Homo-oligomer: A and B are copies of this chain.
Amino acid sequence: MTKKVTIKDIARELNTNYSTVSRALNDSPKISDATKQNVLRQAKLMGYQPNSFAQKLKKGYSNTIGLIVPRINRVFFSNVIHGVETIAKQQGFNVIICQSNESVKDEEDNVKTLLSNNVAGIIMSISKETQTQDSFQEILNNKIPFVMFDRALNNLVSNQVVNDNFKGAYEVTAHLIKQGYQKIIHFSGPLYINIYQDRLEGYKKALEDYKIAFNPNFVIENTLTKDKGIAAVEQLLKQKIDFDAIFASGDYSALGAILCLRQHEILVPEQVGVAGFANEPFTELLDITSVEQFSTDMGKSAASLLLDKIQHKDTSDQHQNIEILPQLIIRKSTQKL
């Protein structure tokens, strides 16, 4: 690595003071246009790159924000990342991305890493394991701007960007009912996480509105993966439970359900309708009804909100709660009619 050029080097070359160079580079109104030109030319000539550490140290803040997601390589999250990146870059901010691998322990480490990197704010979606705010208590203590997206804790008030999961779930369920399905199983997730709770509520409300009795046994908790979806259907069949539809709180368990039903030569959608949630790319290819969450938009919203807080554009001390309207995408897997 060749020796870095500093403003002092430029100043020396130009027979001027380095403070002048600094001001010129920062386009200060105190500096004459002539010197600005000069400095800029010389800086370019010498290949000057400002030392961001010195800048940040002096200024006391960084243009970096932190983003914690459970898994980077999940379509939903990588879309969110994409959205966050886009907005951040637009406003001159960098993003450090961490993944919690769905583990509280990793989550806590991530928080430490980000804080010790002096990020200006943090955006995060909690891991499936996370049941308390212990792992990110330090963020709250440090009082740096903080936004949660998608998954948040039910009992914690914070800046949030979430889907209107209640509505999404309500619409899926209502759609199933309108298609003539009556005995609808719900695959749920951990209920201490807001989104799964909300989806369950939406499901219940739709049943209620359409005068279908809610059967607690029809809710199968913590069934979000393909394998769990398969296992759940196996179980249902073995127990000879009479059902004609499945609304899964995630696409992967919906996929598992379909694969398992197909295995048992049960026709989808004729005998059993199946719907998921998240609109993963494969749902389009496999014609599975799902709910689009506009994940990129969610990332953009979260980033905008955080940056407003960081840049004090949003001076209200209140917590904001942004809801994104999801959209039901009807496909073959639920079209009995």
A-side residues, CB < 8 A to B, are 1-2, 47, 49-54, 56-57, 62, 64, 71-75, 78-79, 81-82, 85, 89, 94-99, 113, 115-118, 141-144, 255, 281-282, 285-286, 296
Min CB–CB distance A76 → chain B (angstroms): 9
Given the complex, which residues of B lie within 8 Å of A62, measured CB to CB? 53
Show 23 residue pairs from A and B whose CB-CB distance is below 8 angstroms, ordered by the A residue: A1-B143, A1-B144, A2-B143, A49-B115, A50-B116, A51-B57, A51-B118, A52-B118, A53-B118, A54-B57, A64-B96, A72-B82, A72-B85, A73-B79, A78-B78, A85-B97, A85-B99, A94-B117, A96-B96, A255-B285, A281-B282, A282-B282, A285-B285
> Counting chain B CB atoms within 10 Å of each CB, which of A50, A78, A282, A286 scores highest?
A78
| A78 & B73 in contact (Cβ 8 Å cutoff) | yes
A54 to B285, CA, bound (A): 51
Given A1-B142, A56-B53, A97-B95, check contact A81 B85 (CB 8 Å). no
Given the complex, which residues of B lie within 8 Å of A47, measured CB to CB? 141
Given the complex, which residues of B lie within 8 Å of A51, measured CB to CB? 57, 118
A282 to B113, CA, bound (A): 35
Given the complex, which residues of B lie within 8 Å of A115, measured CB to CB? 49
Taking A1-B142, A73-B296, A85-B99 as known contacts, 19 extra A-B pairs with beta carbons closer than 8 A to each other, sorted by chain A number, are A1-B143, A49-B115, A50-B116, A51-B118, A52-B118, A53-B54, A54-B57, A71-B82, A72-B78, A72-B81, A72-B82, A73-B79, A73-B81, A73-B82, A75-B75, A82-B99, A85-B98, A255-B285, A286-B286
